[in-house]
Amino acid sequence: MANAPGAPANPSASSLEFDAHLEADVLVLGGGPAGTWAAIAAATAGARTVLADKGFCGTSGATAASGTTLWYVDPDPAKRAAAKAAREGLGGHLADHGWMDRVLDRTHAAVGQLADWGYPFPRDADGRDRRVSVQGPEYMRLMRRRVKQAGVTILDHCPALELLVDDGGAVAGAAGVRRQKGGGWAVRAKAVVIATGGCAFLSKALGCNVLTGDGLLMAAEAGADLSGMEFSNAYAIAPAFGSVTKTLLYQWASFTRADGAVIPGAASKGGRSVIARVLATEPVYARLDRAEPELSAAMRQAQPNFFLPFDRVGIDPFTQRFPVTLRLEGTVRGTGGLRLVNERCATAVPGLFAAGDAATREPICGGFTGGGSHNAAWAMSSGHWAGQGAADHARALGNGARALRRAGGAGLGEGRGAAIDAGALTRAVQAEVFPYHINYFRTEEGLTGALTRLDRLWSDAAGAAPSSADDSLRVREAAAMLATARWMYRSALARTESRGMHRRLDHAALDPAQRHLLTVGGLDEVHVSARPAPLHPDPVGAKRELAA
């Protein structure tokens, strides 16, 4: 080996010291559903596998805190066809039926595996297992156990800050910091899976504050590009005082103004933008008064965490009104992420794979996920394929010596610029992505103004260093959110129509000529280009769209 383990590959690139070195075939970054399925698949394929999580594998990420419904559909052709058709229009006719079929098959198998591993699926009145949802704490506790049983080494509280690359530009590991033990870590690996989730901009949406787009930035620094980043403006309903952004039960809510007047058109599904418009100037209240009383017990059993805020402040949400807000979930319940180049979930960079919310979900949901089931199915499926793909890549690579260097840039630099104040940069980015009038209701003027300010922040941040080693994680998170915001808004500016969850006030209609996908990438210069969408899978939909 050109660099013996123990010696930082390029010590001058950063002030980090490595206190822990490991070698692996496959390194998985992120231990949510996507990362755990990836690690199990890689280890099962015979790869020596390490999984590093910013938090704790088993409690960290969006699923562990929230729980998810699953896109679990029996392999009955009629049911499958209906499941695919149901989201065709919502997703803006961008999804790919080949991918949907693969994901439906893979999800069915993975959920069956969960049952075999002892996940306690509920039974219905006929005694049948019902497998359309999982509880977050239960599911992720089980996944951690299975990861360990597969022989994977888990590094908890070890956020990755940057990738390591070889002379040819292939990804060859990652490095980061140890939050609890102190110092840095580095893992040399033959392949890396990015499963770091989406980016929710520290909005305190349920379980989402570990999700700051770190993996997107790291991958882009190594040369990967992204797709679908215009589909990044998911806002979820929550009680105004709380973090619980679970939205399923709001389908039984009525929404009112302070004086009690019902807000026409306001609804969780199909009327959320109405809520955003009113919230811009006055409070909005909700009450779950449209539910059949006999369903309320089922609701409690379905979503125990939904009721925590109410029970704890003494509100009965079925009979009493409570104020609501919309918290940004960014790409977590959007669809944008790293662009995949094949069915093994490889990115454009050799040795780098992506899965879950860190990868674009356009192949199965086009430009919309919002609530429900597709995200979880994608995390299981893409995780499995990325883990297998990474293991195969590692095996093919063999054991040749490679000289490594660090690929990280923004916020890790030698301090050409001033030291970055992570809190100030985070607030500056939030001020551009939280407001409904910039991000939810998009216009050329609003997006251009935000981009001017974000680009200026980037040129200051790009060469700067953290003010202290303790601050390096916060600074990298801020830089990653900043990069993510710029990819989002450049893509949103380029899509001069409304499609999926991307809405332009100045281009309110869907434009059939823009049934394409947008690739976005670059750091100092952000570039966007269109590539063809999959062949239209649904001729009826195509006709409808042309008529629109």
Ligand X SMILES: Cc1cc2nc3c(=O)[nH]c(=O)nc-3n(C[C@H](O)[C@H](O)[C@H](O)COP(=O)(O)OP(=O)(O)OC[C@H]3O[C@@H](n4cnc5c(N)ncnc54)[C@H](O)[C@@H]3O)c2cc1C
By CB under 8 A, is residue 467 in contact with other proteins? no
Residues 484 to 543: which contact other proteins by CB under 8 A?
Answer: none
Number of residues that bind ligand X (CB under 6 A): 45
Give the span between the Cα atoms of 65 and 493, in whole angstroms.
33
Which residue stretch of 51-59, 144-152, 421-429, 531-539 sits at the interface with ligand X (rule: CB under 6 A)? 51-59
By CB under 6 A, is residue 206 in contact with ligand X? yes
By CB under 6 A, is residue 330 in contact with ligand X? no
Establish how many alpha carbons lie within 13 A of residue 371's alpha carbon, considering only the half-sphere containing its beta carbon: 17
Cβ 37 to ligand X shortest distance, Å:
8
By CB under 8 A, is residue 370 in contact with other proteins? no
- Pick the catalytic residue: 131, 146, 272, 333? 272
Q: Give the dihedral sign, CA 500/501/502/508.
A: positive
Cβ 537 to ligand X shortest distance, Å:
21
By CB under 8 A, is residue 207 in contact with other proteins? yes
**Residue 30 binds which entry of ligand X, other proteins, none, with Cβ cut-offs from 5 to 8 Å by kind?**
ligand X
Asked whether 461 and 428 are in contact (CB, 8 A), the reply is no
Which residue stretch of 54-62, 181-189, 228-236, 274-282 sits at the interface with other proteins (rule: CB under 8 A)? 54-62
By CB under 6 A, is residue 329 in contact with ligand X? yes
Reply yes or no on whether 476 is catalytic. no
**Residue 311 binds which entry of ligand X, other proteins, none, with Cβ cut-offs from 5 to 8 Å by kind?**
other proteins
- In the complex with ligand X, the residue whose CB is nearer, 178 or 333, is 333
Which residue stretch of 292-300, 337-345, 355-363, 402-410 sits at the interface with other proteins (rule: CB under 8 A)? 292-300
Give the span between the Cα atoms of 505 and 496, in whole angstroms.
10
3-class secondary structure per residue, 127-170: CCECCCEECHHHHHHHHHHHHHHCCCEEECCCCEEEEEEECCCC
Which distant-in-sequence residues (6+ apart) come within 8 Å of 426 by Cβ? 202, 474, 477, 478, 481
Strands, E, within 245-388: which ranges?
A: 254-256, 284-287, 322-330, 337-338, 352-354
- In the complex with ligand X, the residue whose CB is nearer, 383 or 446, is 383
Q: What is the torsion angle, in degrees rounded to the nearest 10, for the CA atoms of residue 312, residue 317, residue 319 and residue 321?
A: 100
By CB under 6 A, is residue 60 in contact with ligand X? yes
Asked whether 405 and 9 are in contact (CB, 8 A), the reply is yes
Rg (alpha carbons) of the chain, rounded to whole number:
23
Give the span between the Cα atoms of 215 and 233, in whole angstroms.
19
By CB under 6 A, is residue 34 in contact with ligand X? yes
Pairing of strands 516-521, 527-532: antiparallel
**Residue 329 binds which entry of other proteins, ligand X, none, with Cβ cut-offs from 5 to 8 Å by kind?**
ligand X
- Provide the 10 A C-beta neighbour count for residue 7: 13
By CB under 8 A, is residue 206 in contact with other proteins? yes
Which residues face 323 on adjacent strands?
Answer: 285
Asked whether 224 and 193 are in contact (CB, 8 A), the reply is no
By CB under 6 A, is residue 134 in contact with ligand X? no
Strands, E, within 30-157: which ranges?
A: 49-52, 68-69, 133-134, 153-155
Name the site residues for other proteins (rule: CB under 8 A): 54-56, 58-61, 64-65, 69, 73, 79, 82-83, 86, 120-124, 130, 132-135, 137-138, 156-157, 179-180, 204, 206-210, 239, 241-244, 248-249, 295, 297-305, 307-309, 311-313
Give contact residues for ligand X (rule: CB under 6 A). 29-35, 52-55, 60-63, 66, 68-69, 159-160, 195-197, 205-208, 210-211, 214, 245-246, 329, 332-333, 356-358, 371-376, 379
Active site residues: 272
